Amino acid sequence: MSDLNLDDFASLVERPDAGVQRDSEERRQRLVPPAGSLGRLEELGDWLAAAQGRCPARPLERVKVLLVAGDHGVARLGVSARPAGSTAAMVRAVLDGSAAVNVMARQFGARVRVLDLSVDADEGAFPPAVTRHHVRRGSGRIDVEDALTPREAEQAFRAGMAVADEEADSGTDLVLLGDLSVGGTTVAGVLTAALCGTDASVVTGRGSGIDDLAWMRKCAAIRDALRRARPVLGDQLQLLAAVGGADFAATTGFLLQAAVRRLPVVLDGVVSSACALVAQRVAFRAPDWWLAGQSTGEPAQAKALDRLALDPLLDHGVRLGEATGALLALPMLRAAAALAAELPERPEEPETPETPEGPGSPGASEAPGEPAEDAGPAEASPH
């Protein structure tokens, strides 16, 4: 019998410090730049202050890119521009430091961490630090079978929780959350459609750049998986086992435990957004700890972010994955923290002493029709 009770998260997750956020907002009104002139950077500074529990927000010095990797059986249907089972090559590129995420992370001063939850690769293919939380090779084809067993779903979920604790304990102050997967956008489409109550066609996008024929195959796979998802919507862990995957379960567990540990997270693309949607069902306050880094143009991501009430910081059409979109938002967050901490407040204007307005003082008003008190006798008018 499992002792994992997802209902506990609803009480464990608290909102960021509202009092600190008010302090930050009030302080912002006293800064030299006119309020509102820095646009969304002001809002981000307030959010960071509330998440950190201090005003003004401190600089972001220990930023971590977290990439959760897994293969998906549904990729065998030809729903991706990448071949099924090719996630291992993506992981190797990141570990070699030659992937786009590595280039950007070096540019923006962030460290990269990769977790293999369900990559279809031989044992020993990756370092132990990467495979420590490995659950299985690939996942079931969600249009016809469960992705995971209930035990595997719980194992992956707990792995995500453990990683959140590790990052919080190590002093990480912001996580940029991404994925490495083939077929992941199809799985994300299923979860988003199921939780938002929409049809397959509404959430089916081009993913890695598929043609019309592959799009039709993807839409059909999402439609068939939706039939399997709807009966288990009331149990999020069972939903992740039925139509998710070990990487999705781990990401969901990470998001929830990160919110418990007051660790802010920037979501990257459609996969992390779909997991956030599942996590929201578990703990309704959790989205207050997340930002959406960018819009990928995937309809499932737009649907999920709308339900989460998260407005993407950027919209540059970056759909590579690998947390590249979240990384693009990092300079904005760093700028927001620096501006909040370093901009001077306006000097207080000296108070002008009030001039007494009594009788006889300059500018004192006189009642109409009455002579001033110091006036002499009125002269007689000449005859």
Percent pLDDT > 90 in the chain is 87
Active-site position among 42, 152, 167, 322: 322
Is the domain spanning 61-332 CATH 3.40.50.10210? The answer is yes
DSSP element (H, E) containing 69 = strand 63-71
Tell me the HSE value of 57 on the side-chain side, using a 13 A CA sphere.
Answer: 33
Q: What is the pLDDT of residue 370?
A: 47
Residue linked to tokens 């990559």:
119
Task: Return the minimum-mean-pLDDT range out of 55-59, 150-154, 230-234, 370-374.
Answer: 370-374
Give the model's confidence band at 241: pLDDT under 50 very low, under 70 low, under 90 confident, else very high.
Answer: very high
Interatomic CA distance for residues 13 and 1, integer angstroms: 25
Q: What is the pLDDT of residue 353?
A: 64
Neighbours of 367 (CB within 10 A): 7
Best CA proximity match to 190, nearest among 240, 153, 254:
240
Instruction: Show the DSSP H helices in 132-263 as ranges.
Output: 150-169, 184-196, 200-203, 212-229, 236-243, 246-260
For the CA atoms of 373, 375, 377, 380, what is the dihedral angle to 10 degrees?
A: -130
Neighbours of 298 (CB within 10 A): 24
Instruction: Show the DSSP H helices in 13-149 as ranges.
Output: 18-28, 40-52, 87-96, 100-108, 128-131
Average pLDDT over residues 57-62: 96
The single-letter code of the amino acid at 72 is: H
pLDDT of residue 143 exceeding 70: yes
Best CA proximity match to 60, nearest among 290, 343, 324, 331:
331
Percent pLDDT > 70 in the chain is 90
**Sheet with 290-292, edge to edge strand ranges:** 111-118, 63-71, 174-182, 265-267, 290-292
Interatomic CA distance for residues 351 and 188, integer angstroms: 61
Interatomic CA distance for residues 281 and 334, integer angstroms: 30
How would you class 180 by CB atoms within 10 Å of its CB: exposed for 0-12, middle for 13-18, buried for 19 or more? Answer: buried
Q: Under 8 Å CB-to-CB from 164, ≥6 apart: which residues?
A: 253, 254, 255, 256, 257, 258, 260, 261, 263
Q: What is the pLDDT of residue 349?
A: 67
Best CA proximity match to 246, nearest among 181, 189, 292:
181
Average pLDDT over residues 377-383: 41
pLDDT of residue 383 exceeding 50: no
Interatomic CA distance for residues 256 and 254, integer angstroms: 6
User: Per residue in 219-235, is it b (16+ CB within 10 Å) or e — as a string?
Assistant: bebbbbbbebbeebeee
Give the model's confidence band at 69: pLDDT under 50 very low, under 70 low, under 90 confident, else very high.
Answer: very high
Best CA proximity match to 189, nearest among 60, 72, 293:
72
Rounded (5°) CA angle 181-182-185: 85
The answer to whether residues 67 and 322 touch, using CB atoms and an 8 Å cutoff, is yes
pLDDT tens-digit series, residues 213-230? 999 999 999 999 999 999
Alpha-carbon distances, residue 1 vs 4, 5, 151, 324 (angstroms): 9, 11, 10, 40
Q: What is the pLDDT of residue 366?
A: 46
Token representation of residue 34? 């006119």
**Residue 322 bears catalytic tag:** yes
